[in-house]
Amino acid sequence: MRWRHPVIVCLMSALSPVPAASGEGGVSVRDAWIREMPPGMTMTAGYMELRNNTSRPQVLVAASSSGFESVMIHRTIVKDGMAGMVHPSQIELAPNASLIFAPGGYHLMLQMPKRTLRAGDPVVINLEFRGGLVLPVAFEVRK
Ligand SMILES: [Cu+2]
């Protein structure tokens, strides 16, 4: 009766629920970096490319880091020729799509670093998604 075994395994994998947004390929991050702060500045920004590898929307609801007193999701918008920043409470990632955090658009506003950051330093920022997924991402400080 050995032949039964692979059949049972196949059935079980077909029946097991699809994880909401696990770290294993659920949401991935590329090219994560932080702008190096000029001396005396207490504020900088983090950028990255977020990718939702699932067939469902994923919602970024918060970010935090032990390296900064405050991390906020921000978006730079231009209205009537004036640039300003807004603080969206969440950002939805469309299924199987990427969202780019870049200068002039979405960014992570990083305030009050707990130590001096130099180009090349790694800083971990935790991205929190609706449903409980927390994705620790290594950002690199760049000039
Ligand atoms: Cu900002």
Q: Which residue has the tokens 């760049």?
A: 142
pTM, whole model, 2 decimals? 0.80
Q: How remote is the CA of residue 81 from the centroid of ligand 1, in Å?
A: 17
The two three-digit tokens of residue 117, written as one number:
């950051």
User: Amino acid identity, residue 130?
Assistant: R
Measured in degrees and rounded to the nearest 5, phi and psi for residue 6 equal -65, -30
Q: Which residue has the tokens 């970010």?
A: 63
CA angle 136–86–74, rounded 5-degree value: 15
4 in helix, strand or coil? helix
Q: What is the pLDDT of residues 36-47, one digit of tens each?
A: 998 889 999 999
Q: How remote is the CA of residue 107 from the centroid of ligand 1, in Å?
A: 6
Neighbours of ion ligand 1 (CB under 5 A): 74, 85, 109
Q: How remote is the CA of residue 5 from the centroid of ligand 1, in Å?
A: 56
Q: What is the pLDDT of residues 78-132, one digit of tens each?
A: 989 999 999 999 999 999 999 999 999 999 999 999 999 999 999 999 999 999 9
Q: How remote is the CA of residue 25 from the centroid of ligand 1, in Å?
A: 28
The C-alpha atoms of residue 23 and residue 4 are separated, in whole angstroms, by 32
The C-alpha atoms of residue 46 and residue 73 are separated, in whole angstroms, by 10
Q: How remote is the CA of residue 84 from the centroid of ligand 1, in Å?
A: 8
- Does the pLDDT of residue 33 top 90, yes or no? yes
